[in-house]
């Protein structure tokens, strides 16, 4: 009888081990199936590269700050401009190549961004951060005033470190610089006060 109990105990232990192992394998299999399914709700890297729209949360962006998101493999800058930054823009028109974005309008900016601030909401600049000369990425030079490689009356903007092109805080290029055009404004729209959709401006 004791031998039978030992055997039953062994069988029970083997069953328990088998149940634990098969449950673990089942859980791993479920996770392997569910993870790609959940991930499928987000645009793939290939879809992003092909131009899938990208959402940006701008709720934490403070006046005077910039954030960068990637769309189509390019950096898209979102700058929250201060009232002082906005007030300086009209004073620069005579120093700019294309202050009203009338040159190559369909390439440079959607119709809703062909205005003095080149934006839907004046507070926010949304632009592709690639110089229109040879494709370098300009540096932030938001502080006004004299600085190396910048004029003494600098009002804030961007400086391309490759060949010295300068852009104001609306992404408009200054005269007598290598870059021929303003920074490009991508299609975009606001989903809410704190959410921006880059790459799509058509409401479903």
| CATH code of the domain containing 159 | 2.102.10.10
The reply to whether 178 falls in a domain is yes
Identify the H or E element spanning 126.
strand 124-128
Total number of domains constituting the chain = 1
Residue 103, token pair as written in the block: 């040159």
Identify the H or E element spanning 66.
strand 66-71
| Distance between CA atoms of residues 172 and 151, nearest Å | 16
Residue 186, token pair as written in the block: 């991508």
Residue 84, token pair as written in the block: 């002082």
Which domain, by its residues, includes 64?
52-198
Asked about 133 being catalytic, the answer comes back as: no
Residues in the chain: 204
pLDDT digits (tens, 9 = 90+) for 77-129: 999 999 999 999 999 999 999 998 888 888 889 999 999 899 999 999 999 99
pLDDT digits (tens, 9 = 90+) for 21-48: 666 666 565 555 555 544 544 555 555 4
From the candidates 7, 163, 175, 195, give the one annotated as an active-site residue.
Answer: 163
């Amino acid at each position: 009888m004791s031998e039978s109990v030992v055997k039953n105990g062994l069988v029970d232990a083997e069953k328990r081990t088998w149940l634990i192992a098969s449950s673990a394998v089942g859980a791993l299999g479920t996770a392997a199936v569910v993870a790609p399914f959940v991930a499928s709700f987000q645009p793939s890297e290939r879809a992003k590269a092909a131009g899938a729209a990208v959402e940006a949360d701008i709720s934490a962006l403070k006046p005077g700050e910039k954030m960068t998101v990637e769309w189509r493999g390019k950096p898209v800058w979102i700058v929250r401009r201060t009232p002082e930054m906005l007030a300086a823009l009209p004073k620069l028109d005579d120093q700019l190549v294309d202050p009203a974005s009338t040159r190559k309008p369909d390439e440079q900016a959607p119709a809703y961004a062909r205005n003095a601030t080149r934006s839907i909401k004046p507070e926010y600049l949304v632009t592709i951060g690639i110089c229109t000369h040879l494709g370098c990425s300009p540096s932030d030079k938001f502080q006004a005033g004299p600085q190396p490689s910048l004029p003494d009356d600098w009002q804030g903007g961007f400086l391309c470190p490759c060949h010295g092109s300068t852009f104001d805080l609306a992404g408009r290029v200054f005269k007598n610089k290598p870059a021929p055009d303003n920074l490009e404004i991508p299609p975009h729209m606001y989903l809410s006060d704190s959410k921006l959709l880059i790459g799509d401006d058509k409401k479903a």
